[in-house]
Amino acid sequence: MKLGKRFLVSVMLLMLLGGCWDRREVNDVAFVAASAADKEGDGYRVGVQIPLPGQMGGPEGGGGGTSGEKSWYLDSEQDKTLRGALEKLQQRLSRVLNFSHRRVIVLGEELAKEGIVSVIDILIRAPQNRLTVFPVIAEGKALDLLNAKAPVEQLPSEVIRELASLSFSKQLLLNIFMKDLLKEGEDPVLPVMKMAETKPGSEGKKDKTIQMTGLGVMKKDRLVSIFREEDAKYLLWLNQMNRLPSITLDYPEKKGYIVLQFQQNKVDVRPVIQGDEVSFRIKIMAKGSVMEDTTAKNISTGIANRQLEKDAEEHVREAMKGVVSQLKKLKADPIGLGSRVRDRNYTFWRKHKKDWFELYSTADVYFEIDFNIEHTGTVSNSIIRKHVEVNS
């Protein structure tokens, strides 16, 4: 019993020692949903987006000190360091900034071109920061992107996050970015977004929203080019980060197009090393289906199907060659050809590490593409073709 009492007293003391020092109620904390970093002067402009819980459609009786109709609050400050800017921001914020729920970091184009490694440091140093945050590059100023109206989601940061995770087959989180950044012979890529206006017709009211514009190709931590549309698509395909890639084949003689979508695809990159020469063989295999057909072609027969596959292969080959030659010119390697060489033949890699990009820009890349169009959809024959037949 005596022992029990002593034990009880020591537990009580333990409680007192702990105190409530770290106690923070939810309504004393400002959860940063997204932050933006831009180059300004010889320092940075840092913006934070904070959701306002009172405005987020809670139950009746909510509504603390909130402003206007927006469900979020955006503020920015300039300083030599990012931390300094945040401290300045804190001076006019009644709640403690908390970054543990940040999901998006928007980096300005200018900053990205100069290199983002200086920004990454603060993101990985403090334990409060999550590595499962989406780094995104904004065309123009990063801060502007957070000002979008975001009518679909509650916060612009949510739009950015959803877009960034929807556009790729795997999530390009900060930890993935850092892994690519630190990997020898591979450069990371980042999604690029910009502000766009909705087009609801002449009657509708235009809204500002966020649009995915392309893929930022980095050389180490510097943005060297933004691949848009087709280029971005094929680059993603090569990286196997494309979610259901689709291609459009043009048939001018038939005055129409065929759209194909590939459900299963496999990309196999193999370096071929001969002496001091290196070349690459990229094998692409995919199973696809016809999504749209505006030609009057008969694609249901075996020969026609094979022809369609050949056309698609040719189309993709040309496009991919274009992408690879652009990358060679940029001396950026987001596909990771260098790392493939390193994995295959380390002595060769060690020898040519210094002049790798010379070798890279002259290396030949061969494509072996094998498509298999399995489904032509629920209509085996083109309705347009039937229409032509009936009316002739």
Partner 1 sequence: MVYAKGVTSVTERKGLDKEGKEELQASLELNLSRNIENIQGVFDKCNDLIIRKVPTSEGYEAAVVYLAGLINTEELQEHTLQPLLTRDLASAAAVENSQVSRAETVGEVAEAVLNGEAALLASNQPYAVTVNVRGGNRRAVEEPPTEATVRGPREGFTENIQTNTALIRFRLKTTKLKMVPFTIGEETKTNVILAYHDKLADPEVIQEVTRRLQSIKIDGILESGYIEELIEDNPYSPYPQMHYTERPDTAVAHLLEGKFCILVDNTPVALVGPTTFWLLMQASEDYYERFYISNLLRWLRYVFMFVALYLPSIYVSVLTYHQDMVPTNLLYSIASAREAIPFPALVEALIMEVSFEALREAGIRLPKTIGQAVGILGALVIGQAAVQAGIVSAPMVIIVALTGIASFTIPRFNLAITVRMLRFPLMIAASVLGVYGVMIGTYIIAAHLCQLRSFGVPYMSGYAPLRRKELKDIFVRAPWRKMKTRPITYSGSAEGRRQKA
Query: Is position 240 an interface residue for partner 1 (rule: CB under 8 A)?
Result: no
CB of 52 to partner 1, least distance (A): 9
CB of 360 to partner 1, least distance (A): 41
Query: Is position 53 an interface residue for partner 1 (rule: CB under 8 A)?
Result: yes
Size of interface with partner 1, in residues (CB under 8 A): 34
Q: Would you say 59 or 302 has its CB closer to partner 1?
A: 59
What is the rounded distance in angstroms from the CA atom of residue 268 to the CA atom of residue 277? 20
Any idea what DSSP says for residue 205? P
The 10 Å Cβ neighbour count of residue 187 is 24
Of 185-214, binders to partner 1 (CB under 8 A) are none
Query: Is position 62 an interface residue for partner 1 (rule: CB under 8 A)?
Result: yes
Query: Is position 26 an interface residue for partner 1 (rule: CB under 8 A)?
Result: yes
What is the rounded distance in angstroms from the CA atom of residue 381 to the CA atom of residue 183? 49
CB of 99 to partner 1, least distance (A): 9
Q: Would you say 29 or 267 has its CB closer to partner 1?
A: 29
CB of 126 to partner 1, least distance (A): 12
Two structure tokens written together for 168: 């790729």
Residue (of 38, 54, 73, 69) closest to 156 by Cα position: 73
Q: Which residue among 60, 69, 203, 253 contacts partner 1 (CB under 8 A)? A: 60
Lay out the site mask for partner 1 across 139-178 (x = CB under 8 A, - = otherwise).
---------------x------------------------
Query: Is position 69 an interface residue for partner 1 (rule: CB under 8 A)?
Result: no
CB of 125 to partner 1, least distance (A): 16
Which uninterrupted H or E stretch holds 309? helix 302-330
CB of 164 to partner 1, least distance (A): 15
Query: Is position 59 an interface residue for partner 1 (rule: CB under 8 A)?
Result: yes
Count of alpha carbons within 13 Å of 375, Cβ hemisphere only?
13
Q: Is residue 71 classed as helix, strand or coil in its secondary structure?
A: coil
Query: Is position 50 an interface residue for partner 1 (rule: CB under 8 A)?
Result: no
**Stretch near partner 1 under the rule CB under 8 A, chosen from 51-59, 86-94, 113-121, 235-243:** 51-59
Which uninterrupted H or E stretch holds 106? strand 104-108
Query: Is position 61 an interface residue for partner 1 (rule: CB under 8 A)?
Result: yes
Residue (of 269, 260, 234) closest to 373 by Cα position: 260
Query: Is position 125 an interface residue for partner 1 (rule: CB under 8 A)?
Result: no
Q: What dihedral angle (degrees, nearest 10) is formed by the CA atoms of 274, 282, 351, 361?
A: 100
Query: Is position 100 an interface residue for partner 1 (rule: CB under 8 A)?
Result: yes
CB of 191 to partner 1, least distance (A): 20
C-alpha angle with apex 177: 194 to 46, nearest 5 degrees?
50
What is the rounded distance in angstroms from the CA atom of residue 310 to the CA atom of residue 84? 58
CB burial of 32-63 (b: ≥16 within 10 Å; e: otherwise) equals bbbbbbbbbeeebbbbbbbbbbebeeeeeeee
CB of 304 to partner 1, least distance (A): 50
Q: Is residue 321 classed as helix, strand or coil in its secondary structure?
A: helix
What is the rounded distance in angstroms from the CA atom of residue 356 to the CA atom of residue 376? 44
Residue (of 262, 340, 366, 243) closest to 308 by Cα position: 262
**Stretch near partner 1 under the rule CB under 8 A, chosen from 61-69, 184-192, 337-345, 376-384:** 61-69
Q: Which residue among 3, 20, 303, 390 contacts partner 1 (CB under 8 A)? A: 20
Binding positions for partner 1, rule: CB under 8 A: 11, 14-15, 18-20, 22-27, 29, 31, 33, 51, 53-64, 98, 100-101, 103, 128, 154
